[in-house]
Amino acid sequence: MEPGRAGSLRGHLPMQAKSYIPYLQVAPLAFVFGAFLVIPILTIVVVSFWDYDFARIIPDFVLTNYRELLGSPVTLRTYLNTLRYAAIVWVATLAIGFTVAYFLAFHVRSDTWQTACFLICTVPFLTSNIIRMISWIPFLGRNGLLNSALVGAGIVDHPLEFLLFSDFAVVLAFVHLYTLFMIVPIFNSMMRIDRSLIEAAYDGGANGLQVLTNVIIPLCKPGIAIGSIFVVTLVMGDFVTVRFMSGGQSASVGLMMANAISLLQYPAAAANAVILLIVVLLMVGAMMRIVDIRKEL
Amino acid sequence: MGKDKMAGKTRGVNRRTVLKGAAAGFGLAAGSGAITGFPTIWAQNIKNVTLRQFGTGVSNLNAIAEKCKADTGITLQMTALDSDAVAQRAVTQPKSFDIADIEYWICKKVFPAGVMQPMDTKKIKNVDKIVPLFLSGKLKPDSVIAQGTAPHSVGFVEGKDSTKFAKSQTQWMTMIPTIYNADTLGIRPDLVGRPIANWKDIMDPKFKGKASILNIPSIGIMDAAMICESMGEIKYGDKGNMTKAEIDKTIAIMTAAKKSGQFRAFWKTFDESVNLMASGEVIIQSMWSPAVTAVKSKGIPCVYQPLAEGYRAWGGGLGIAKHLSGLELDAAYEYINWYLSGWVGAYLNRQGYYSAVLDTAKQHMSAEEWGFWMEGKPAAADIMSPDGKLLEKAGAVRDGGSFENRMGKVACWNAVMDEDRYMVQKWNEFIAA
């Protein structure tokens, strides 16, 4: 907020009231976050230290949940697997998202077409996430459309098994589901770039690649960072996509939690949730260090 | 009888329900309805009662709610959830339901949580006719009690307010059994190309990349146990209550098979198992009986294969929420009595499940139906599904034969183990491998 404007508003009020105004302004949001975000998270943290047996959850302060979680090789393997998905999906969505956004922002000249193309990108997202994901299954299956076409065209003799219920299928579904989250913020950043900067760069003798790497990409960094945060947090927390597309053959952190919850082992699931939250916050923190989103906006 | 009801009614209720209860009590005395021991005399009041029931999709059917409304006047609000959601909802939101339709193995977890009230068997008219499996654990007096969480072992508690399971029959039941079945492997006879006779056949390298088991840890581990025992690798003390060493060994065998690419997928929901089989992604997998029927109804051959080692069974029942009292509690008993009185039993039997009271169900089925579904005889006429679709042509025989053949060959029941905490960790390891 600009100090001048705030000052003029404060000028009309008695001195002692002035200091309350910012607090009143943040109060509604603070209340919503407090009630629906902070309290639930604190509850999860508290429960993660509770004990449980086959039928009950016992209020207590034990470290067993964390000890079992952190001491188990399966945790490390699952986290590595989940991080691997996140990394591959991040690279793929960034490459596709940047290209699509670049095309929309710099190659589509008319505003009407720009809006129209942008809408076309978003239309599939009017259907539910799960339906868009599940519709890959009959397409990729052993007797699915793709395999029938490949075998029919004589490209392969046997149906390709790796297409479905594999890491390939998981990554494909993730990229399909989440690329839009990359396109929108990057497109937004690109639209804010002053076109005269690009002209100036060309006038100064830069070629296309130099303009891209020295002007456009640096100015898109906030968009890239926001998109990356979306994609990484979504992939890290996902369990539905991994379960359906890997045919239940791959694990993700979310899936581990779902399994624990299914047997009412809430404290174990809560401990896992706390660790996941810390890991994701660290990742987001690292991204924020590379790009100062607030400064760039 | 009347006294019992009055005592049950006035416990912690407001003046209004007390008055209603008193009026009903007078009505009972005046109408001498006590002769039948069946509180139909309250139908006038009960008509206004709505009971909220939730449970798994297998038995939470609108047809049952409609028929119940027509017969008793009680309105049933059914919510169908998956097994996991049922257990969670029961424990975490005990006020959100009146009747819980839950499976016995989950009951072992849910009942000790104190969210349900034991049922007075004196108020259950057909209690003596319930299949003995649920009372003593034995189908016939000389049967061996199957392994796992056998329903009778969590079917009774020690007293009216107890949450401790009783070792033998008492007056207080945790749940009234309603539906159960014996599960085995489903196969695609057109694609397996050889006879399937044992659980271990799922591990045949010939079916590499074409097999599946289910990924609900507490049920999947039982399938895995049936397979490992059939392979001769492990001899379990109790498949439904494994030691850590047994769990380790079972998971090791399954992990090795997974790493070598034996499985195509693991399924978690009914629809997933149907799609895997119908699409040919999988040709042999653990399956539920109605899922086999669903595959068949698409015109795709599918067999629910009886196996030498026997079946893995499950059972579900109706339990009453702790908070129920007064008129609503009476309505709940009336509903459960109605449930066991035959119509529902016949409806469930016709879907390939079994009902808890066979005598009453029999009265609602034709002789041909009874012969096909329960006695394992070739169908004397075309067999229709409850909604009137052709299920089997005349002459067909039910997979697995008669009721006694199937339920008499139960090797284990779905279970909650003492080591279930360890088991879930190892199961996660298996999935992550």
Segment B50-68 mean pLDDT: 87
pLDDT tens figures, B309-345? 999 999 999 999 999 998 899 999 999 999 999 999 9
User: CA B404, CA B140: separation in Å to the nearest integer?
Assistant: 9
- Domains of chain A, by residue range, sit at 73-295
CATH code that applies to domain B10-182+313-362:
3.40.190.10
Task: Give the pLDDT band of residue B272 (cuts 50, 70, 90).
Answer: confident
Using a CB–CB cutoff of 8 Å, tell me whether B88 touches chain A.
yes
Task: Give the closest-approach CA distance of A61 to chain B in angstroms.
Answer: 18
Say yes or no for a CB contact (<8 Å) between A251 and B416: no
- Where is B187: in which H helix or E strand? strand B176-187
Say yes or no for a CB contact (<8 Å) between A56 and B217: no
Helix (H, G, I), strand (E, B) or coil at B139: coil
pLDDT tens figures, B223-258? 999 999 999 999 999 999 999 999 999 999 999 999
Among candidate residues B432, B394, B231, the one with its CA nearest the CA of residue A82: B432
pLDDT tens figures, A64-105? 889 988 988 888 989 999 999 999 999 999 999 999 999 999
Say yes or no for a CB contact (<8 Å) between B279 and A165: no
In this prediction, what percent of chain A has a pLDDT beyond 90? 48
User: CA B103, CA B83: separation in Å to the nearest integer?
Assistant: 8
- Among candidates B109, B281, B428 on the partner chain, residue whose Cβ is nearest the Cβ of A74: B428
pLDDT score recorded for residue B32:
39
Neighboring chain B residues of A251 at a CB cutoff of 8 Å: 428, 431-432
Residue in the block written with tokens 């939470």: B60
Decide if B304 contacts B353 (C-beta within 8 A).
no
Say yes or no for a CB contact (<8 Å) between A247 and B266: yes
pLDDT score recorded for residue B314:
92
Task: Give the pLDDT band of residue B37 (cuts 50, 70, 90).
Answer: very low
Segment B417-427 mean pLDDT: 87
What residues in chain A have per-residue pLDDT under 50? 1-7
ipTM of this complex prediction, to 2 decimal places: 0.72
- Domains of chain B, by residue range, sit at 10-182+313-362, 183-312+385-432
Give the chain A residue nearest B108 (alpha carbons): A55
User: CA B414, CA A71: separation in Å to the nearest integer?
Assistant: 30
pLDDT score recorded for residue B429:
86
In this prediction, what percent of chain B has a pLDDT beyond 70? 89
Q: Do B10-182+313-362 and B183-312+385-432 agree at the fold level?
A: yes
Segment B342-365 mean pLDDT: 92
pLDDT tens figures, B191-201? 999 999 999 99
Task: Give the closest-approach CA distance of B338 to chain A in angstroms.
Answer: 31
Task: Give the closest-approach CA distance of A6 to chain B in angstroms.
Answer: 48
Name the DSSP letter for residue A66: H
Decide if B177 contacts B356 (C-beta within 8 A).
yes
Residue B388 has pLDDT above 60, yes or no: yes
Name the DSSP letter for residue A161: G
Say yes or no for a CB contact (<8 Å) between A264 and B91: yes
pLDDT score recorded for residue A186:
93
Is B210 or B1 the better-scoring residue by pLDDT? Answer: B210
- Among candidates B111, B209, B425 on the partner chain, residue whose Cβ is nearest the Cβ of A161: B209
Name the DSSP letter for residue B377: P
Using a CB–CB cutoff of 8 Å, tell me whether B50 touches chain A.
no
User: CA B64, CA B70: separation in Å to the nearest integer?
Assistant: 10
Angle at B400 between CA B396 and CA B405, to 5 degrees: 120
Say yes or no for a CB contact (<8 Å) between B112 and A55: yes
Residue B363 has pLDDT above 90, yes or no: yes
pLDDT score recorded for residue A13:
62
Q: Which CATH superfamily is domain B183-312+385-432 in?
A: Periplasmic binding protein-like II (3.40.190.10)
pLDDT score recorded for residue B38:
47
Among candidate residues B9, B29, B30, the one with its CA nearest the CA of residue B19: B9
User: CA A183, CA A179: separation in Å to the nearest integer?
Assistant: 6
Name the DSSP letter for residue B193: -
pLDDT score recorded for residue A55:
65
Segment B281-299 mean pLDDT: 87
Indicate the average pLDDT of chain B: 85
CATH 1.10.150.80 corresponds to the domain A73-295: no
Residue B39 has pLDDT above 50, yes or no: no
Task: Give the pLDDT band of residue B56 (cuts 50, 70, 90).
Answer: confident
Among candidate residues B140, B160, B118, B122, the one with its CA nearest the CA of residue B319: B118
pTM, two decimals, is 0.77
